[in-house]
Amino acid sequence: MIKSNKYLIKLQNPVVALQFIQLARFSTLFLISIAFAKSNYTVKDIGLYEKFIYFAGALSFFWTNGLIQSLLGQYHKIKSKNEQATYLFNNVILASVFSIVVFIIVFCFEKPLSLFFINNTFIPYKFIFLSYLLLSPLTYFIEYIYLLNNNLKLIYLYGIFSYLIQLLIIIIPAFIFNDLVYSLWGLVFITFLRLLWLIKTLYKYCIFKISIHQIKIALLLSRPLILGAFIAGSIPYVDGILVSMHFDDSIFAIYRYGARELPISVLLASAFSNAMIPILNNSTSIIPGIKQLKRQALQLMHVLFPLSIVLMITSFYLFKYIFNPIFIDSAPIFNIMLLLVIPRMVFPQTILMAKGQNKYLLWASIIEFFTKLAFSFILLSNFSIKGIALATVIAFSIEKIILMFFVYKKNQLLPHHYTHMTWFIFYSILTITTYICIEQLFPINSF
């Protein structure tokens, strides 16, 4: 009974709730990948599906993340409940405007955009793609509306219901039909259901009143975050562009499968960071929030570092038996991407966003982007497709170092104030040593 109550208390933690839904999202994508590898679809079909998801994400991830993060940073600074409800509604209205603008741009400039992002002269399944592109970004607000209103039970309910349906409606056609279009229509259908859920949620928590003043505030606060998210978050999409330019669809699928671990670290770390922003804002002093950040970041280390090491050791067998022997060449990329767990376990960006110091995130993102480009071209010629993954690790690590400098300069907080350095150094050395042993002393495969 005591143990049961302990788990129930953990489920009432906003960090755990947000990490749950991000993990549900990743697990669904991961299981779809496994199912597709075992299904009637060819590697080319799978590559096309990956390009579909990748293209839509490339056009919407930056402004969606920027708007949500600025909302998290500002919401609890507004003292009036009615003002909070109105501000929430106007953020969704602003997101809708962004979504419509992106839709129009893609519709009008299909050829150059598809050439740039997916190396095609047209968008495959254009109507399905545009429907998904228009609707899907808005649905990411659902869990954050529940988070801001402290209704964590509905986060769990929404996550279970939504992603279970997505899993079934996408993978079942893959085993019945030989045409990818049925799975893509399934993706649009679940997106439409989520949109209906969003509308119901807005009716419960929002006041439907358009305020130009609040929209201007939201746009002003989110602008550096949107630009920063566009620059830094575009790096995985830059990877996709580089792979598309130098390799065919089959290699694109192999690369995307190899980079598959990347989302789990990003999603869990991002969920933790986003959940901590309102907690830091709610504190009368930032010190209790910093202590909680340090304590819960250590808990995340104890999960993600050992998981990354185990996955690194078993990567060859995972790709051979869980996916398909065709994807064995994804293992070396997978192992490189696992190294990203090291810089991800430090959270200077959370402090900067909570303090409203968003411009420093933009500066760091610009430096990261150009570092990534430079190292990608240098390492691509020497290490082939593995060089692109290595460049990502180098650039992201440099960005975190820059952010730590800004946190110290503006807030007089050193890394040990918000990171358990002993555990961090221990896990980092262990992870790097494991990688060297597997990839250098006992190479599994290479391109």
Same domain for 169 and 301, yes or no, is no
Q: Does some domain include residue 415?
A: yes
Q: Does some domain include residue 254?
A: no
**CA atoms of 137 and 139, how far apart (whole Å):** 6
SS (H, E, C) 240-266: HHHHHHHCCHHHHHHHHHHCCHHHHHH
Tens of pLDDT along 196-206? 999 999 999 99
Can you say whether residue 20 is alpha, beta or left, with left for phi > 0 and alpha for psi between -120 and 50 degrees?
Answer: alpha
Of 235, 270, 298, which one is at a domain's C-terminal end? 235
Give 6's pLDDT tier (boundaries 50, 70, 90).
low
Average pLDDT over residues 284-288: 78
Same domain for 276 and 377, yes or no, is yes
Q: Does some domain include residue 34?
A: yes
Question: Of the ranges 42-46, 98-102, 327-331, which is most confident?
Answer: 98-102
Tokens standing for residue 256? 């995307």
Q: Does some domain include residue 392?
A: yes
> Which one is predicted more confidently, 178 or 437?
437
Same domain for 298 and 175, yes or no, is no
Same domain for 287 and 172, yes or no, is no
Q: What is the pLDDT of residue 184?
A: 92
Same domain for 93 and 201, yes or no, is yes
Q: Does some domain include residue 3?
A: no
Q: Does some domain include residue 244?
A: no
Of 235, 251, 268, which one is at a domain's C-terminal end? 235
Same domain for 28 and 113, yes or no, is yes
Q: Which residues of 314-349 are buried (b: 16+ CB within 10 A; e: fewer)?
A: ebbebbeeebbebbbbbbbbbbbbbbbbbbbbbbbb
C-alpha closest to that of 243 among 231, 233, 251, 235: 251
Same domain for 297 and 427, yes or no, is yes
Give 441's pLDDT tier (boundaries 50, 70, 90).
low
Q: How far is CA 263 from CA 32, 35, 80, 259, 279, in A?
A: 14, 18, 37, 8, 24
Q: Does some domain include residue 203?
A: yes
Which domain, by its residues, includes 161? 11-235
Q: What is the pLDDT of residue 126?
A: 87
CA-based radius of gyration for the chain: 21
**Full DSSP string of 137-177:** GGGGGHHHHHHHTT-HHHHHHHHHHHHHHHHHHHHHHHHH-
Count of structural domains within the chain: 2
Averaged pLDDT score across all residues of the chain: 87
Same domain for 321 and 216, yes or no, is no
Q: Which percentage of the chain shows pLDDT scores above 70?
A: 93
Average pLDDT over residues 152-173: 94
Of 235, 268, 297, which one is at a domain's C-terminal end? 235
> Which one is predicted more confidently, 277 or 249?
277
First to last CA, the chain: 54
- Give me the amino acid identity at 7: Y
Q: Does some domain include residue 76?
A: yes
Same domain for 198 and 343, yes or no, is no
**CA atoms of 393 and 435, how far apart (whole Å):** 13
Same domain for 193 and 303, yes or no, is no
Token pair 């110091």: residue:
357
**CA atoms of 23 and 29, how far apart (whole Å):** 10
Q: Which percentage of the chain shows pLDDT scores above 90?
A: 45
Long-range residue pairs from 309-313, CB within 8 A, at least 24 positions apart, any chain: 309/430, 309/431, 309/434, 311/261, 311/338, 312/338, 312/431, 312/434, 312/435, 312/438, 313/434, 313/438
Q: What torsion do the CA atoms of 231, 232, 234, 235 make, to the nearest 10 degrees? A: 130
Tens of pLDDT along 333-388? 889 989 999 999 999 999 998 888 888 999 999 999 899 988 988 888 788 888 88
Same domain for 334 and 385, yes or no, is yes
**CA atoms of 284 and 280, how far apart (whole Å):** 9
**CA atoms of 168 and 48, how far apart (whole Å):** 20
Q: What are phi and psi of 389, to 5 degrees?
A: -65, -40
Q: What is the pLDDT of residue 387?
A: 87
Lowest mean pLDDT among 40-54, 166-180, 297-311, 352-366: 40-54
Q: Is residue 323 pLDDT above 80, yes or no?
A: no
Q: Is residue 422 pLDDT above 90, yes or no?
A: yes
Q: Is residue 271 pLDDT above 90, yes or no?
A: no
> Which one is predicted more confidently, 327 or 194?
194
Tokens standing for residue 262? 């990347």
**CA atoms of 91 and 229, how far apart (whole Å):** 17
pTM: 0.80
Tokens standing for residue 105? 């741009």
SS (H, E, C) 94-115: HHHHHHHHHHHHHHHCHHHHHH
Q: Is residue 55 pLDDT above 90, yes or no?
A: no
Same domain for 56 and 122, yes or no, is yes
Interhelix angle 81-108/43-74, rounded to 10 degrees, is 150
Question: Which residues are within 8 A (CB) of 211 and not within 5 positions of it... i.e. 6 or more apart?
Answer: 86, 87, 90
